[in-house]
Amino acid sequence: MMRVSSVLLCGATTTLTYTVAPIHPNTLRFTLCLAKPFLSSSTTPTKSTNRATQALATTPPRVSLQRHCKFTESELVHDDDDDFVVVNFYHFLFFEDPKAEVAKHLSFMEGLDIRGRIYVNEQGINAQYSGPSKDALAYVEWLKDDDRFSDILVQVSPALNGHAFPKLRLRYKPSLVQFEGGDAHLPLLDPSMRATPLEPSEWRKKLEAVNPVDDLSKENSSSNYILLDVRNGYEWDIGHFDGAQRPDVDCFRSTSYGLSQSEVIASDPLADVDKEKTDILMYCTGGIRCDVYSTILRQRGFQNLYTLEGGIAHYLKNEGPVKWTGNLFVFDSRLSLSPSTYKPEAKAKAIKREEFSSDSAFAKCYVCGSQVCELRHRNCANIDCNFLFLCCTDCVKDLRGCCCANCTTAPRLRPVLTGHQRYKKWHIYRDSELLSNLAA
């Protein structure tokens, strides 16, 4: 069985005929923010959801993937209907009636095996979901047949192990990303209020220009730039662009760069910069966090805002891990992807000694501070803690998969996970313990 290697689908640009609001060419993908550095795991009790059954009668015609297929042979290298993929995209556009839009999408999804988070509101759509490739891509095809979506940048990567999300949540949401006060009041539909998107190759050139490898060019390089990681600290901990400061942020919701009034705050790289002369190079996983946050910075007077179009995922797919160190944190059950997931032929560069300097949290065990072998987080085995943390193999063994000694004595402990597994629902562990007690 062959898996779909990461596929990037960029529809040809066609004329938009009935968009009400201006559409920006920068159109892509996702983001989920966590209240704390915890991942909601499948242990979280959740309402059942396939709301497809509640969809209204506005059923659009089903699109046959074969008939409308826009993928080239090389993009779709698979021969197994059960190949699962993860799809991410986002798009800012004005929906006059977002709830009717949701109903249309739910109706199309009836009978499709799709799980994930798809949020719609007056300013657009933000989607990340998994499914067998035929179902997952049928939804993309259906969307792209609509002129309003024909130019969206859709990112597809292999799911590794079936669904990457526990269930489907396709609904109206007042905010497309979790942000303090929501994003409904932000001018997301106005491209001039967002950062200028740079294609991966332009981004790479920009990084090479401002941060050259050789000393000669270093002397001539411009220092008037800030490379801003618009993610959370724990995401930076397993991978980031070289030269980016670790974000002092646990949740995108509370990001506040450039908002301090007067005093210089060490944790705010934008606190003391010249808003007119400094280039702010912003990046995040898929681009939406930068797009949203750049509107806030624009409102604060920052002039030279650039963002990496399609985010790190799009960059790794196109450029490989040039100027990039480590893995990419993702907000689904895969948690961490190596650059080769996106560009199999690309070789990750060896991590340099200075990456592990004592003041850096990069690739460090949260318990003992030693270097971790695998750039992948795990949830604490204590279900009532569930903290998402990096841990070395010795500490995993010593603390039986817990984040601290206290958690090892908690009443609801799960077994230590091996490999790339994620924890399942609590009753599975509870019941297996009951059974083994009964057998004893």
Instruction: Work out which of 380, 388, 390, 413 binds Zn ion, going by CB under 5 A.
Output: 380
Please give the size of the binding site for Zn ion, defined by CB under 5 A. Answer: 11
- Comparing CB distances to Zn ion, the nearer of 167 and 400 is 400
User: Of 347, 350, 335, 338, which Cα lies nearest the Cα of 390?
Assistant: 335
Instruction: Work out which of 4, 395, 399, 413 binds Zn ion, going by CB under 5 A.
Output: 395
Q: Among the options 33, 251, 284, 385, which is catalytic?
A: 284
Q: Is 373 in the site for Zn ion (CB under 5 A)?
A: no
- Comparing CB distances to Zn ion, the nearer of 59 and 371 is 371
**Coil vs helix vs strand at 311:** helix
Provide the Cα torsion 242, 244, 246, 249; round to 10°. -140
Window 65-94: residues binding Zn ion (CB under 5 A): none
- Tell me how far apart the alpha carbons of residues 199 and 202 are, in angstroms, rounded to a whole number: 5
Window 130-149: residues binding Zn ion (CB under 5 A): none
Q: Is 387 in the site for Zn ion (CB under 5 A)?
A: yes
Q: Is 405 in the site for Zn ion (CB under 5 A)?
A: no
Dihedral pair phi/psi, residue 366, rounded to 5°:
-70, -20
Q: Is 39 in the site for Zn ion (CB under 5 A)?
A: no
Q: Which two tokens stand for residue 28?
A: 């892509």
- Comparing CB distances to Zn ion, the nearer of 237 and 309 is 237
- Tell me how far apart the alpha carbons of residues 102 and 126 are, in angstroms, rounded to a whole number: 12
**Minimum distance between the CB of residue 372 and Zn ion, rounded to whole angstroms?**
8
**Minimum distance between the CB of residue 46 and Zn ion, rounded to whole angstroms?**
22
Q: Is 188 in the site for Zn ion (CB under 5 A)?
A: no
Dihedral pair phi/psi, residue 121, rounded to 5°:
-150, -170
Window 343-372: residues binding Zn ion (CB under 5 A): 365, 367-368
Would residue 284 show up in a list of annotated catalytic residues for this protein?
A: yes
**Minimum distance between the CB of residue 328 and Zn ion, rounded to whole angstroms?**
23
CA angle 266, 272, 275 (to 5 degrees): 140
**Minimum distance between the CB of residue 360 and Zn ion, rounded to whole angstroms?**
16
Instruction: Give the Å distances, CA to CA, from 87 to 115, 160, 409, 429.
Output: 10, 13, 39, 31
- Tell me how far apart the alpha carbons of residues 126 and 30 are, in angstroms, rounded to a whole number: 6
Quick one: CA dihedral 49, 334, 346, 357, positive or negative?
positive
- Comparing CB distances to Zn ion, the nearer of 368 and 428 is 368
Q: Is 388 in the site for Zn ion (CB under 5 A)?
A: no
Dihedral pair phi/psi, residue 215, rounded to 5°:
-65, -35
**Minimum distance between the CB of residue 396 and Zn ion, rounded to whole angstroms?**
8
User: Of 323, 307, 222, 229, which Cα lies nearest the Cα of 270?
Assistant: 229
Select from 7-15, 171-179, 259-267, 373-381 the region that touches Zn ion (CB under 5 A).
373-381
Q: Is 407 in the site for Zn ion (CB under 5 A)?
A: yes
Q: Which residues bind Zn ion (CB under 5 A)?
A: 365, 367-368, 380, 382, 385, 387, 392, 395, 403, 407
Active site members: 284
